Structure 1
Amino acid sequence: MSASPTREGSANAGSSNGNLDEKPRLSEHEKKANHIASEQKRRQAIREGFDRLTELVPGLEGQGRSESVVLKKTVDFMRAQLDERRRLVAKIEELGGQVDDGMRR
């Protein structure tokens, strides 16, 4: 009978701390290294996004990569595209064509 409580005690201890399936806790140094790597990955993704915008938005080719300039020119370009779409929708309707409601936005 004394073996049973010991097994239960070790089984409970194993499930919370010593289970082989659990990952060991990270040291402070490992946590910091993971955080730094994660932040670098996040910043790289942002840089790649801005680089992609400079490829897509006219007028940004070959410019310095000022994020505020990229964002402003992207917004200006998108507004111009939306205005152009509204103009085209109006022209189609003026000529008697029909435009789906989804294309009016």
Structure 2
Amino acid sequence: MSAERPRLSEQEKKNNHIASEQKRRMAIREGFDRLTEIVPGLEGQGRSESVVLRKSVDHMREVLQERQELIERIQALGGEIPPELQ
């Protein structure tokens, strides 16, 4: 036999919702903080989310371009790239 849990009051529901929303916002904030630590050019700047996202995308594009150039260089020199890295 399992005892039924009492229903939450409207105030308890509201408090749970507020706590969940605060937790979600904190996770987003921490994610942006991590990006500012990783992406060059964002260290020590104010944290405009649009700037962080734009610079993160730009950085990812640069890294992917550099990676492709390295793959092509290795192949031009006769090296092989494992399929999982291509």
TM-score by length of 2: 0.95
Structure with higher Rg: it is: 1
RMSD over aligned Cα, in angstroms?
1.2
Unaligned 5+ residue runs, structure 2?
Answer: none
* One-letter amino acid of the structure 2 residue matched with residue 65 of structure 1: R
Alpha-carbon offset, residue 22 of structure 1: 2.0
C-alpha deviations, 1:45-87, integer Å up to 9, x for none? 0000000000110110011111000000000000000000000
User: 1:49 is matched with which residue?
Assistant: 31
Match of 1:67 among 21, 42, 49: 49
Q: For 1:50 and 1:60, how far apart are their aligned partners in 2?
A: 10
Q: Across the two proteins, how many residue pairs are aligned to each other?
A: 86
TM-score by length of 1: 0.78
User: SS state of the match for residue 68, structure 1?
Assistant: helix
More relative contact order in 1 or in 2 (CA 8 Å, sep 6+)?
2
Structure 1 position 21 matched with structure 2 position 22: no
Unaligned 5+ residue runs, structure 1?
Answer: 1-18
User: 1:37 is matched with which residue?
Assistant: 19
